[in-house]
Structures are given as C-alpha cells and as structure tokens.
Amino acid sequence: MLARLTSASLLGIEAFPVEVEVDVTARGLPHYATVGLPDTAVKESKDRVRAALKNTGYNFPLKQITVNLAPADMKKEGSGFDLPICLGIVSAEGLIPPERFEGLMIVGELSLDGRIKPVRGALSMAIAARNLGFRALVLPSDNAREASVVQGISVYGVKTLPELVAFLKEEETLVPVETDPSQLITPVPPYDVDFSEVRGQEYPKRALEVAAAGGHNVLMVGPPGSGKSMLAKRIPSILPPLTFEEALEATRIWSASGLMTDGKALVASRPFRSPHHTISDVAMVGGGANPKPGEISLAHHGVLFLDEVGEFRRPVLEVLRQPLEDRTITISRAVGSFSYPASIMLVAASNPCPCGYLGDRKHPCTCTPRQVSKYRAKISGPLLDRMDIHMEVPSVPYEDLMSRKDAEPSASMRERVIAARRVQMERFRGEKRVFCNAQMRARHLKKFCVIRDEASQLLETATDRLGLSARAHSRILKVARTISDLSGQEEIGTAQIAEAIQYRSFDRTRMP
C-alpha cells in the first residue's frame, strides 16, 4: 500500500512543502530505503521511526518499505519528517485511511519513545501552509502557539504519536490552538531595563538617543565600569515599538534558529544580541551544514552589541561589513543560495587602551604610546568606517552615582525618537529601501542634507583642522540631519553640525 502526505522544510526562513510517500510491500526480503534525504540523515531517521513505532505499540513492518521525499533536488533536513514517515507507515499498513491526510500539512520530530519534539520554522510553515491553501497544520505542541499567529488556517499541536493517530482515525478530537495577533503587540514595549537606572552620563545618553533616532551605528569607548554595557542594553527600550510585520519577520528568524521555545507566540520586543568575542564567523552571520541564521540576523530589527570589539577575531568583523551595508546576508550553497534578513543597529564598545584608563580622571594609564596605538588599530579594525557615531563614555563621578535624582526614563526618550522617525518616514516615502537617516546614500545626502553659510563653513574648518576623511564628512551630515529631526527642524544649522562633529572622536588625529 502507498500512503501520501505533505510535510514541510525550511530554506533560509522560507518554508516549502515536501511530499512524503511511503510504500510498504510484503514481497521480498525486509528492506528500508529512503529516497530524497541526505545519506547521513537516512539511517538516523530509520532508527527513530522504528523505535518510535515500537515504543508506542505500533508495528514496524518487516516488509519492503520505501520512503520518497520530493522535491528530490531541495536539501532537506532529516528530523522533521520522522512524524509524517511514521504516519505513512501506519497508514500504509491500513490503520489510517489515506484520505484523512488531505488538506493537512504535518511536521514533527520524534523521540525514541514516540513523543513529538519541536521543529524549527513553525511560523514560516504556517504561513506557507496557509498560502498554499491547506486546511490545517499539524505540528508539535511546543510550536503550536507560534504557528497560531497565522490567521486563516487551523493549527493543531500534538504531543505524542498515538494522540495524533487517534485524531486521524477520528477516535479523538483535537482543539485547534487560537491566538489573537492584535493582543500580542503592546503599545508599550516590554523591557526589563530602563534608562532611568543610569545615573549621570547625560552626554552618552544624548548620543544614544541621536543614534536610535536615526538608526546610526555607534562605537563607545571608555574605562572599565563606566557603564558601556549598561547603556547598550537599554538602547532597544528607546527604539520605536516593533510593528506586527517586524515582529513576524523577527520571529521567523528566531524560529529558524530553534529559539522560539519559551512558549511565546512572537518576538515582541526589539532583539538585543551580545555575542561573546570568541564567536565564529558562521555563528555571527549564519550558514553551516544545517544552515541557521547568525547573530546578525537574530538581532534583525534590534541591536547587535559587540562588547570588547577589539577582541573579536578579524575575519568575524570582516564578514559583518557586507550585511551591514546590504541589511541582508546571502548564504550560498551548492543547491542554490538564500538570504537571511539582517537589518540592525550595530553598537560596539571598547576600552581606550590595554589597561583601560587612558584619559580617566582618577586612574593613571600605565600603557606605552606604542601599546596604545596598537590597541587603537585593533578597535578601529574593519568596522570603524561603518560607525556614524563614536563617543567617549567617561567613568561616572561618585556624586552622580550616589545621586537620588531620578534620571529620565526610556519612555520619554522613546517618544522623541518616534517623532524623529516619523519625520524620516515622511522624507523617504517613495525612496526604495531607505527608512531612516543612517541608510541614506550619496544622492540622498545631496537632496536632504543641504547646509549653508555658517554651518557649511564650520564643517569645512573642522574637516581641515581635525583631518576628517570624506567618509567622516558624510557621516557628520547624516547625524546632523537626525539631530535636526529630533528637534523638529527642517534646516541643518551650526549647532547640529557642531554636535555631529563631536561624535567623531575616533577620526581626530589626537587621542581622546
């Protein structure tokens, strides 16, 4: 007997349907063959299928079993097909009428005892199933809430093989999981940290507000304990709340990485990712034998924080350059290429020198000039030219740290950021792939960052005196644009240019 059912697999963050055909014949010697799976996955799949069937009281028939997964030319991961293969065998043995599979997409990994384990990419599978006109998606119960965000398709979560078989034989009923997507995105984003906790540091906070307002990448330099990590963690709390579309996109990426396991239906707040400096380049940008999104994609629509940026291996920073520019990362495979979204705000932090205290008011620096310049070269590395804002984060004076005065909360900073973003949305309406000032290209600068008279003179003088590069010049214009937007002002004047020049401390020939 032949059983035919539909499952799904992932390519990047997109799901595609996979036809699973199981043929069981009594003729000849017992035999198990799988067509359309990579060789290494075949044996493991057979072992799991056999154990799961036996341990849940079903028969693993000692017959000729042929499993075909189509399309054959797409690379498929093995484990998500365990469940449909088992069902195919059970059905081919006459226990489930074949028509019960009609209109269903079924995915799930099996453990040896027949429990159904979560898969990656549930949300994308639900979207694909809905778009292809399936009636229902049947998947591991751990993935059901995530998949149920998609409207227009029934989502059934199952825990064990016998439970699902009983449902398919219409001996038991299952209640589809339902979620109201409008309840998932709250107008006030859920962050457990807030800028009000940071005492003093008015200058770094202002710089971060500017960065958030224009989507600018930031480099922070300061001594140990000055609060760089503390400040960075709070950036998502002043970014505009995720829109539903953004949340969906972020969730698809997280899900493709297998990270949607905490029972949440959506990634509801802007991601903050802080990979350790020992990270590999594959873990940073994605890929690998069973491709998964990297940290830069997990930070999509949020912040990627590189703490101690000088400690990262150079190739890891090199591979970030292209996706930072393109806001997407392309993974090439023998069978074709695909891409992961990677639109992020990059925030990097470093000490100013090996001992950490260069320029500090209290501690003397013990480094030699040679050590300092070598260290600086490391921080500058391949990413400095991707940074719009460089700022110094001095250690907080004791009085500030002990102050009882409450600092400004994230909420009011965020309001100003949202207002500035609104101006930018209006400005870039009709421009392709530009949503905020940081994304402007040369022709946008000519159009939207015109400066006159005094402001233009100031920039010219500063460029000469500080020895700023042409690149720094355009970064200053972009940041000045954002500063004007924050104050609701169309024109870019001297005050905005002067502030933007302040944020180029690393371009200056002299040390901070």
Ligand X SMILES: Nc1ncnc2c1ncn2[C@@H]1O[C@H](COP(=O)(O)OP(=O)(O)OP(=O)(O)O)[C@@H](O)[C@H]1O
Chain residues binding ligand X by CB under 6 A are 198-201, 222, 224-230, 351, 396, 401
Residue 427 in tokens: 């400005």
365 binds Zn ion (CB under 5 A): yes
Stretch that binds Zn ion, among 49-57, 91-99, 159-167, 353-361 (CB under 5 A): 353-361
Choice between 50 and 199, CB closer to ligand X: 199
Residue 309 Cβ, how far from Zn ion at the closest point, in Å? 17
Task: Answer with the entry of ligand X, Zn ion, Mg ion, none that 479 interacts with (C-beta below 5 to 8 A by kind).
Answer: none
Closest CA to 111 of 169, 74, 161: 161
Task: Answer with the entry of ligand X, Zn ion, Mg ion, none that 365 interacts with (C-beta below 5 to 8 A by kind).
Answer: Zn ion
Cα–Cα dist 459/15, whole Å: 50
Query: Can you spell out the DSSP letters for 277-292?
Result: TT--HHHHHEETTTTE
Stretch that binds Zn ion, among 241-249, 348-356, 408-416, 429-437 (CB under 5 A): 348-356
Residue 352 Cβ, how far from Zn ion at the closest point, in Å? 7
Task: Answer with the entry of ligand X, Zn ion, Mg ion, none that 353 interacts with (C-beta below 5 to 8 A by kind).
Answer: Zn ion
Query: Can you spell out the DSSP letters for 30-88?
Result: -EEEEESS-HHHHHHHHHHHHHHHHHTT----SSEEEEEEESTTS---SGGGHHHHHHH
Residue 503 Cβ, how far from Mg ion at the closest point, in Å? 20
Closest CA to 481 of 434, 443, 436: 436
Cα–Cα dist 126/20, whole Å: 18
Instruction: Name the residue with the smallest CB distance to ligand X.
Output: 227
Choice between 60 and 375, CB closer to Zn ion: 375
Sign of CA pseudo-dihedral 317, 255, 109, 95: negative
Choice between 264 and 277, CB closer to Mg ion: 277
Choice between 229 and 328, CB closer to ligand X: 229
Task: Answer with the entry of Mg ion, ligand X, Zn ion, none that 339 interacts with (C-beta below 5 to 8 A by kind).
Answer: none
**Interacting residues toward Mg ion by CB under 5 A:** 229
Residue 510 zone, left/alpha/beta (φ > 0; ψ -120 to 50; rest):
beta
Q: Spell out the residues 6+ positions from residue 231 whose beta carbon is closer than 8 angstroms to its own.
A: 198, 201, 204, 205, 208, 220, 393
Using the rule CB under 5 A, which residue among 367, 411, 418, 419 binds Zn ion?
Answer: 367
Closest CA to 105 of 73, 54, 143: 143
Closest CA to 150 of 301, 9, 15: 15
Residue 312 Cβ, how far from Zn ion at the closest point, in Å? 20
Strands 154-158 and 218-221 come out as: unpaired
Choice between 232 and 320, CB closer to Mg ion: 232
Residue 307 Cβ, how far from Mg ion at the closest point, in Å? 5
Using the rule CB under 5 A, which residue among 92, 345, 355, 413 binds Zn ion?
Answer: 355
Choice between 49 and 358, CB closer to ligand X: 358
Contact by Cβ (8 Å): 458, 494: yes
Choice between 82 and 360, CB closer to ligand X: 360
Choice between 124 and 226, CB closer to ligand X: 226
Cα–Cα dist 218/305, whole Å: 10
Residue 395 Cβ, how far from ligand X at the closest point, in Å? 8
What is the 8-class DSSP label of residue 115?
B
Task: Answer with the entry of Zn ion, Mg ion, ligand X, none that 367 interacts with (C-beta below 5 to 8 A by kind).
Answer: Zn ion
Residue 348 Cβ, how far from ligand X at the closest point, in Å? 12
- SS3 for 472? helix
**What angle, rounded to 10 degrees, do the helices at 202-214 and 410-427 form?**
30
Residue 202 Cβ, how far from ligand X at the closest point, in Å? 10
511 binds Zn ion (CB under 5 A): no
How would you list the strands of the sheet with 104-106, edge to edge?
31-35, 64-70, 14-25, 2-11, 104-106, 136-140, 154-158
Residue 223 Cβ, how far from Mg ion at the closest point, in Å? 10
Binding site for Zn ion (CB under 5 A): 353, 355, 358, 365, 367
